[in-house]
């Protein structure tokens, strides 16, 4: 019985030389691993003739129907563009970071060969991230449907004029204020625009929706975290000056007329991300932002082998294989699961008794 073709779509920001060089290398690595790389015609600019000869032609009207995996070369912006392209299909995205922070990316440029090795061995997991369905109503009429992975933001269209909005959750008004805008985000988006707006960082495993005002002129204008089943809404005050726009992930936009109402709710269609390892999100946060953790005392409690910061935990494949050869992934945790116990003891760490004041 013949082995079915394993097709991998390669998406890259080919306007950048670094992305073109990475795409060239990735195509050759995939072919050497026995896989069929596909590159869209719009992304093939800059590739050499030798590389173009290695590409596998799409076999159907919609090539995404036959794709096992999409490898994205770029930063979070390129991954957001790719998520738009594959929405509604089952192929997961695996991001290779060529940008700066790269929260959505799974590996780095220097680990490209190792990434292909893991993909060829089918040694990866698929994680689903919540997305938003975004609807716009004017005078009770539904005029637009959009979606977002990170956030939907209602923002002022003119620099010199703020907008007046009413915030609503689950059909009940919360408050009204003038502002530069309001960000409604997913946990994934909590490290993006909502983070810049002063919103909380929410771990991806938490199911919740966020609202974060932008430069609000009000005493009560705090970020809010609501249930994943809630329906937050932002209404533009009809007779207030100032024009507004709706942006979804900074990519899809819509002019909002006075009195427009923007609702967001959890979408039934998630974005699927391929993961080579599952280090704690805490470690990803520390590594991506370069947070100082040198004063961390957990190492003293857990033993001398616990890493303090940086790249400390080796990536693992599935439990039957043990450790996989490859680059190390960031970790500030150790094998005892962060229980607070000393690895050399059997009981919990006991603090010295507190002396009561007379």
* Catalytic residue IDs: 76
Alpha carbons 71 and 273: distance in angstroms, whole number: 10
Alpha carbons 274 and 119: distance in angstroms, whole number: 9
Alpha carbons 340 and 57: distance in angstroms, whole number: 54
For every residue of 318-345, DSSP letters joined together read -TTT-EEEEEEE-----TTTT-S--TT-
The angle, 0 to 180 degrees and rounded to 10, between the axes of the packed helices 17-32 and 112-120 is: 40
Q: Tokens in use for 118?
A: 């893991």
State residue 261 phi and psi, 5-degree precision.
-125, 125
Alpha carbons 280 and 257: distance in angstroms, whole number: 43
Angle at 193 between CA 187 and CA 198, to 5 degrees: 85
Q: Tokens in use for 311?
A: 């790249």
Cβ atoms 30, 5 nearer than 8 A: no
Cα-based distances in Å from 153 to 189, 233, 250, 302 = 11, 11, 8, 44
Buried residues in 225-235 as b, exposed as e (16+ CB within 10 A): bbeeebbbbbb
Q: Tokens in use for 339?
A: 């229980």
Cα-based distances in Å from 4 to 66, 67, 82 = 10, 12, 25
Cβ atoms 191, 161 nearer than 8 A: no
Cβ atoms 183, 214 nearer than 8 A: yes
Binding site for NAD(+): which residues?
A: 76-77, 81, 150-151, 161, 180, 191-196
Q: Sort strands 67-74 and 7-12 into parallel, antiparallel or unpaired.
A: parallel
Q: Tokens in use for 291?
A: 């947070």
């Amino acid at each position: 019985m013949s082995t079915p073709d394993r097709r991998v779509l390669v998406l890259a920001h080919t306007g950048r030389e670094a992305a073109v060089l990475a795409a060239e290398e990735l195509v050759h690595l995939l072919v050497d691993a026995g896989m069929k790389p596909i590159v869209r015609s719009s992304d093939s600019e800059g590739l050499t003739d030798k590389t173009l000869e290695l590409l596998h032609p799409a076999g159907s009207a919609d090539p995404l129907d036959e794709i096992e995996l999409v490898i994205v070369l770029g930063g979070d912006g390129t991954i957001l563009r790719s998520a738009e392209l594959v929405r509604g299909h089952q192929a997961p995205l695996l991001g290779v970071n060529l940008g700066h922070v790269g929260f959505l990316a799974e590996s780095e440029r220097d680990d490209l060969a190792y990434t292909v090795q893991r993909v060829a061995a089918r040694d990866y997991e698929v994680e689903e991230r919540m997305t938003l369905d975004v609807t716009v109503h004017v005078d009770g009429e539904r005029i637009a449907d959009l979606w977002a992975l990170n956030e939907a933001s209602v923002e002022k269209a003119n620099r010199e004029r703020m907008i007046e909005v009413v915030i609503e959750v689950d059909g009940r008004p919360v408050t009204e204020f003038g502002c530069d805008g309001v960000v409604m985000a997913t946990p994934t988006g909590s490290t993006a625009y909502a983070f810049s707006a002063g919103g909380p960082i929410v771990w991806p495993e938490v199911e919740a929706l966020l609202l974060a005002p932008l430069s609000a002129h009000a005493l009560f204008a705090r970020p809010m975290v609501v249930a994943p089943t809630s329906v937050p809404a932002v209404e533009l005050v009809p007779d207030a000056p100032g024009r507004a726009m709706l942006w979804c992930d900074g990519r899809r936009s819509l002019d909002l007329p006075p009195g427009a109402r923007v609702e967001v709710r959890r979408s039934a269609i998630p974005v699927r991300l391929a993961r080579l390892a599952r280090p704690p999100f805490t470690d990803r946060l520390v590594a991506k932002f370069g947070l100082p953790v040198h004063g961390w005392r957990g190492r003293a409690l857990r033993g001398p082998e616990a890493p303090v910061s940086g790249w400390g935990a080796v990536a693992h494949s599935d439990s039957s294989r043990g450790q996989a050869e490859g680059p190390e992934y960031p970790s500030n945790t150790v094998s005892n699961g962060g229980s607070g116990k000393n690895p050399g003891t059997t009981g919990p760490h006991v603090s010295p008794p507190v002396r009561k004041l007379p």
